Amino acid sequence: MFMNLTVRKLKIILVIVIVGFCVGIYLQDLQHQKSTAHAWKANKHNLERFNKITSFNKSMSAANWQKMKDSIQGELDTLMILRFRKEVDSLTIANLETVQNLNTKKIAQ
């Protein structure tokens, strides 16, 4: 089979392989440009957040530290409540019945 390959057929195969590589490199470059653009946007957003935090940090004093500490504590409480609600909502009725049965057995003992 390989013996009857002519120079013309080999050149056609070589051209097809080279065109395939060129198309692949071009498509890879397009994807790289898209991901780079998204990365720059994300970095710009993160840099803006970092600059805001830095400027807030510079303006922090003993008076507003307590207010910020209370704010962080309130946010953590809110996150814990939301996490608890999410976990409770994910339980099915069968799981709730199982939990209730276990609780009644514990109370009866």
Which amino acid, 40? W
First to last CA, the chain: 84
Residues 63-90 have a mean pLDDT of: 72
pLDDT at residue number 74: 73
> CA dihedral in degrees (15, 19, 20, 22; nearest 10)?
140
Q: What is the pLDDT of residue 77?
A: 76
> With bands split at pLDDT 50, 70 and 90, how would you rate the model's confidence at 12?
very high
The residue with greater pLDDT, 50 or 90, is: 50
Mean pLDDT of 27-55: 80
27, 83, 84, 91, 92 from 88: Cα distances, Å: 46, 9, 6, 5, 9
The mean pLDDT value for 58-81 works out to: 73
Instruction: Tell me: pLDDT of 32 over 80.
Output: yes
- Note the pLDDT of residue 2: 58
Q: Is the CB of residue 60 less than 8 Å from the CB of residue 68?
A: yes
Q: Is 87 exposed, middle or buried (0-12, 13-18, 19+ CB in 10 A)?
A: exposed
